[in-house]
Amino acid sequence: MRLSKYYLPTLKEAPKDADTVSAKLMLRAGLIRKTASGIYEWLPLGLKVLKKVEQIVREEMNAAGSNEVWLPLIQPKELWEESGRWNYYGRELLRIKDRKGAEFCFAPTAEEVITNLIKRDVTSYRQLPVSLYQFASKFRDEIRPRFGVMRAREFYMKDGYSFHADEDSINKHYQEIYDAYVRIFTRCGFKFKPVEADTGAIGGNFSHEFMVLAETGENEIANCPHCGYAANTEKAEIMPTVFPAASGLKTMEKAATPGAHTVEDVAKMLGRRPEDLIKLLVFTADGKPVAALMRGDHELNEHKLKSFLKASQLEKANEETYVKLTGSPVGFAGPAGLKEKGVKLIADYHVRGVVNGVAGGNEKDMHAVNVNPGRDFEPEIYADLKIAASGDACAKCGGKFTFTRGIEVGHTFKLGTKYSVSMKAEFLDENQKSKPFLMGCYGIGISRVVAAAIEQSHDVNGIIWPAPLAPFDVYLATVDADINPKVKEAAEGVYKKLEGAGFEVLYDDRAERPGIKFKDADLIGLPHRIVVSTRTLEAGQCEYKARVSKDAVRWDLAELADKFKTLK
């Protein structure tokens, strides 16, 4: 490809609102442009990378026995009502009406459409299993679109779905897809890690997220160096601490804490440490009131609470609900007497170890001090509700967690019968008995993969593409071609030879200054750079530099064929 004919608008500076390295570089290197918040145009160079990722994913999905389809972007409300997600999905679902007033949504994912498809066509266990996937745009009206195409509203996804007659069959295919994902991200040249993910209301250890390891990742991963367990901190199970029997219990009394709303305020005012406090957080889970108790210095993991309650919706109580449920102003409700008010009380394991603690006093500007679990209140149950953090031990083996950050590029999920039951998608088994399909779903954020590749591999000058994703293999540039026809002639020769040897070449035949060409070459980050100039030509040579190395070397033009072999 001749750069003089290629649409590659590079920028010296990234737009001000670009908030990550990958967003900045994608804009500067002319891969994307921003149309609106979370919505992007993909330019030729960006699209070329996107297509490389797509092709790797396609090959491996096909090898795993899945079939490519193309499903609609605009989906009827009725299907989403059948699954119950028309209301449940909330405001991330962008809804529209057609000219007749019929309601639709833009697909954020396609479980409804695919379940409806299979329900009509597959009636017998003999037709199972079925595995289908597609590449398509998705729309999610994210609250905070950010990090360029990493968390966009419109993005490009591979979404796959499988249907099975029994557990063995889904387990087998889940493993096939898992293995395909490992091959995909290995082929992309990533440092990555599959980790156990939160399964929300569905339960079971059958969800994995594939994380590209990067300091800037949105997700935190807890790793156990001892047994190898790795999980999103949303999920990471913590070993309960065993506390010795408490002694020296003091008499509970009230203490005034005027205007103290935060753990820090209360601790300071009472001369105590945050870990002496028991904080209470109020929620409604599928409409029912729940209070979670945490040690003052610990963070509640809402995903764990939601999973524990097997709730499909968990909402933090607003001020009005808080007051109504607890009878206390926000920040001052304590665990004592809450059960009697009909609020389910669940405490994190660590609360059990608090001795002579501080809790809400159930009235304005008051706290209770010398509160002791078991004596002054008893939660309905103790559970693991804490966000895994430094010092916590792995629930599997007791090893101490270490933490890394990652970008979630893929997600595999065993769905069970969630959609087939609600949408009445059934088949006849060997005994002519009607059964709901067992389902799995498998996503890869293709457009996010492109950004993740850059996030993981770049330097101050620009992108450093892993070779399998590079939009072209070689950046070939001329210096002084406008004043020296021999340079042009030689460069044309190199260009033809490179293409003949099977390389994809971006040939910078523009009449630009060398400085500009070299800057662009580094910015767009192709693995190899070859330069033909008057100076190199005088010695019958060209100059070669790998994007990853600092120094250039000279190649004899007469030996190009041999030199090319070193590029593969």
* List of residues contacting ligand ATP (CB under 6 A): 109, 140, 142, 151-152, 155, 157, 408-411, 443, 445, 447-448
Least distance from ligand ATP to the Cβ atom of residue 344, Å:
27
Question: Between 445 and 471, whose beta carbon lies closer to ligand ATP?
Answer: 445
DSSP codes joined into one string, 262-317: SHHHHHHHHT--GGGBEEEEEEEETTEEEEEEEETTS-B-HHHHHHHHT-S-EEE-
How far is residue 7's CA from residue 127's CA, in Å, rounded to a whole number?
48
Omega prior to 379 cis, within 30 of 0: no
In contact, 498 and 476? CB cutoff 8 Å: yes
Distances in whole angstroms, Cα of residue 482 to Cα of each of 406, 461, 487, 557: 47, 27, 9, 20
Question: Between 296 and 410, whose beta carbon lies closer to ligand ATP?
Answer: 410
Question: Between 382 and 403, whose beta carbon lies closer to ligand ATP?
Answer: 403
Least distance from ligand ATP to the Cβ atom of residue 181, Å:
10
Least distance from ligand ATP to the Cβ atom of residue 396, Å:
24
How far is residue 28's CA from residue 167's CA, in Å, rounded to a whole number?
49
In contact, 77 and 86? CB cutoff 8 Å: yes
- Which three-class secondary structure state does DSSP give residue 131? strand
Least distance from ligand ATP to the Cβ atom of residue 46, Å:
14
Question: Between 187 and 295, whose beta carbon lies closer to ligand ATP?
Answer: 187
Question: Between 138 and 517, whose beta carbon lies closer to ligand ATP?
Answer: 138
Least distance from ligand ATP to the Cβ atom of residue 309, Å:
20
Question: Between 158 and 295, whose beta carbon lies closer to ligand ATP?
Answer: 158
Residue with token string 């001749």: 2
In contact, 401 and 221? CB cutoff 8 Å: no
Query: How far is C-alpha 312 from the chain's CA centre?
Result: 21
Question: Between 154 and 276, whose beta carbon lies closer to ligand ATP?
Answer: 154
How far is residue 326's CA from residue 342's CA, in Å, rounded to a whole number?
9
Least distance from ligand ATP to the Cβ atom of residue 223, Å:
19
Distances in whole angstroms, Cα of residue 128 to Cα of each of 118, 124, 125, 439: 10, 7, 5, 11
How far is residue 5's CA from residue 189's CA, in Å, rounded to a whole number?
30
Question: Between 3 and 453, whose beta carbon lies closer to ligand ATP?
Answer: 453
In contact, 104 and 97? CB cutoff 8 Å: yes
- Which three-class secondary structure state does DSSP give residue 171? helix
Question: Between 150 and 280, whose beta carbon lies closer to ligand ATP?
Answer: 150
Least distance from ligand ATP to the Cβ atom of residue 69, Å:
17
15: number of Cβ within 10 Å: 12
Least distance from ligand ATP to the Cβ atom of residue 221, Å:
13
Least distance from ligand ATP to the Cβ atom of residue 164, Å:
20
Biggest CA–CA distance in the chain, Å, is 96
Give the residue at shortest CB distance from ligand ATP: 445
Closest CA to 552 of 535, 533, 568, 528: 528
Least distance from ligand ATP to the Cβ atom of residue 152, Å:
4
In contact, 360 and 291? CB cutoff 8 Å: no
Least distance from ligand ATP to the Cβ atom of residue 54, Å:
14
Closest CA to 322 of 311, 309, 338, 346: 338
Q: What angle do CA 110, 44, 62 make, to 5 degrees?
A: 40
Secondary structure E strands in 458-548: 458-459, 462-463, 474-478, 505-508, 528-532, 541-546
Least distance from ligand ATP to the Cβ atom of residue 149, Å:
6
Provide the terminal-to-terminal Cα distance of the chain, rounded to the nearest Å. 19
Question: Between 155 and 503, whose beta carbon lies closer to ligand ATP?
Answer: 155
Backbone dihedral region for residue 510 (phi beyond 0: left; psi -120 to 50: alpha; all else: beta)? beta
Question: Between 109 and 131, whose beta carbon lies closer to ligand ATP?
Answer: 109
Question: Between 185 and 377, whose beta carbon lies closer to ligand ATP?
Answer: 185
Amino acid in the structure at residue 359 = A
